[in-house]
Chains A and B, each alone.
Chain A
């Protein structure tokens, strides 16, 4: 009886040691769920979700304090992806949140005074310029977050919607009526 107890205790201690070792050895930095959520967010870094960027929003979702339907640039597609990832039901945009068509910022170069305020606002360094020099936007890197629009003292930044063209055009989902049963 006593020896059985000892053996069990010994096994428990050994397994515990293995587990403890594994926990240290295979320790994962950060929260993997946050990374996964962040991977499906559009990375616009616009803060329209109410969080200071995509990663903070991802963290909030992972902690269960934020809903999945708060990111306008992600569109319904994005909500679907989040729902799939988290195994929860799709939830449409609510209240005044609505999906946003993709746009890029455009600086009216005649009015730019070179104040560098927009550069400081841009989360992805998509604006080039220097103090008292005209600034311009690298359209390919601009995520369309609109964060540069408000700080501009002379209101020379406009958001230009990206129109459908030959290269970004997509085949539509075929809609065919089913023949009504005779």
Chain B
């Protein structure tokens, strides 16, 4: 028996998993339309590479990854691209984002896939490219592009942790995935292990999922996976947080601001391992995922839903009930309220909870903090939530940062136990995004300052150069004059100016400049006189009006040019 470690704090909310975990994963019906956001992952938005009206095949790339950290977006089924426009998306702001709307044609016809029977024959770079092109991102909720996490300088990563803890109440999608598709998850883990050069694979599953643990264990035996262990961990929220699970399994404490990879551990969700396998072995892009539909519905169940499936069409298959008050995407602790039920399923949608007043009573009004420090006792990040609240509330952002605001994983354990019903996490989220915004504008201001100072410097330098040139010329002129007065013959030749405008030989530089400009203007006038407009007969009134406006604009520009020329001469 492996000895496990503990993390600080944690709570034991009612798990509410039994409602949805007794039925197998169902294939969701093909929806009437798919609304696929182009920004479903961390990093740059994908760039649409299809046009409205175009027919696409299942698995075809419709959004290409752009930049370093980005991921591809695919057509989840064959059909017609109806629109590429701004649509409401599953984001707490309710602000629309660029989406591709696809109307399925019902044939579900695959595009050419590139399966690979022996992935070991592929180079690591090739594997990572395939993952990026298949749009594989972290399915545990962080949606970070997986290829970016699968780098390792040989032997730096010792342990690959597969996260099957699924600690949040209500959610059972990973549970069912592990029960039904254990072998494929483990194959995916083997690919990850190879890419990371990791020695061992530890799979952490909370002990309230005995079926999943059994299924995974027998898959390890059947697949003869070596140095791979399925570990049952105690059920305590938030035991599925990456830092917390790493702590429990390996005893490694990932300190503030340190990446677990620096300590030799990399962590992936079991769903990501499964998608990795499908992408590499079968050449299937990430076009669907398992979604738990639960809460206030008749038949809570897990569905394999296409990305982009409108949430209401998905809920319709689980028996929606009257007086549903809204939907939560994710779990009740860390999830977000959906701005609308019509938004499409995205890669981060692990769970959809229908809310009713009996399941989720409206929040009680908050009371002032009584400094009972219950929140301190449960905080898994070992923070001082009541202090963070104090600083966030008074917008003392600097202090909040000093108290390690950014170590907060927004797990909500503190709000859960707070006897004063303070929505603590909302204050932390507010403070974090405020700090990010300030940092962005500070960076912009610094860049602007630098550019401005450089510009001033440049102008100064140009002025200096001009003055130097002028001085040199003056000196030359003076010398020439002196020479002339000394010996009147032969006449000095004074630069190109002479031939241009027949200036008196002893013109001072200011004067020559003026003459030069005058000559240029005369020249332009001559040109204008010579080039008479042609085809001016038989014009429609419209054409005439057009010509008139153009002439007016020309006149204005000429005026301006003259005035700026005047300015030049004054200088």
Contacts and interface: CB of A to CB of B under 8 A. Distances in A.
Contacts of A141: 447-448, 451
Contact of A143 (B395, B444, B455): B444
A165 B95 contact: yes
A20 B560 CA distance: 58
A42 B452 CA distance: 12
A117 B92 CA distance: 44
A124 B430 contact: no
Interface string A18-59: 000000000000000000001001111100000001100000
A19 B395 CA distance: 42
A168 B434 CA distance: 10
A166 B336 CA distance: 15
Given A123-B455, A124-B455, A143-B448, A168 B97 contact: no
A177 B365 contact: yes
B427 interface: yes
Interface residues of A, number: 32
B97 A170 contact: no
Interface string A153-179: 110000000001110111111101111
A115 interface: yes
A83 interface: no
A179 B91 contact: no
Contact of A176 (B39, B366, B451, B557): B366
B455 A178 contact: no
B495 interface: no
B47 interface: no
A62 to B, nearest CB: 16
B481 to A, nearest CB: 35
A125 interface: yes
A31 B519 CA distance: 50
B539 interface: no
Interface in A93-117: 113, 115
Contacts of B395: 173
A178 B368 contact: yes
Q: What's the dominant secondary structure at chain B's contact region?
A: helix
A88 to B, nearest CB: 18
A171 B429 contact: yes
Interface in B382-440: 395, 422-423, 426-427, 429-430, 432-434, 436-437, 440
Contacts of A43: 444-446, 448-449, 452
A126 B441 CA distance: 17
Nearest to B437: A170
A42 B445 contact: yes
B365 A115 contact: no
Contacts of A45: 448, 452
B256 interface: no
A70 B268 CA distance: 52
- Taking residues whose C-beta sits less than 8 angstroms from the other chain, chain B's interface range is 35 or more
B447 A170 contact: no
B8 interface: no
A110 B39 CA distance: 32
B446 A166 contact: no
Given A38-B449, A45-B452, A115-B560, A166 B365 contact: no
A124 B437 contact: no
Interface string B442-478: 0011111101101100000000000000000000000
A169 B452 contact: no
Contact of B553 (A42, A124, A154, A172): A154
A124 B444 CA distance: 11
A73 B557 CA distance: 32
A125 B450 CA distance: 11
B367 A165 contact: no
30 contacts: A41-B445, A42-B445, A45-B448, A54-B452, A113-B557, A123-B452, A123-B455, A124-B448, A125-B455, A126-B451, A153-B556, A154-B553, A154-B556, A154-B557, A165-B97, A166-B93, A166-B95, A168-B440, A170-B433, A170-B437, A171-B430, A171-B432, A171-B433, A171-B434, A173-B430, A174-B423, A176-B422, A177-B366, A178-B365, A179-B366
Interface of A: 38, 41-45, 53-54, 113, 115, 123-126, 141, 143, 153-154, 164-166, 168-174, 176-179
Q: Which 4 A-B pairs have the closest CB atoms?
A: A179-B365, A43-B448, A174-B426, A43-B445
Interface of B: 39, 89, 91-93, 95, 97, 363-368, 395, 422-423, 426-427, 429-430, 432-434, 436-437, 440-441, 444-449, 451-452, 454-455, 553, 556-557, 560
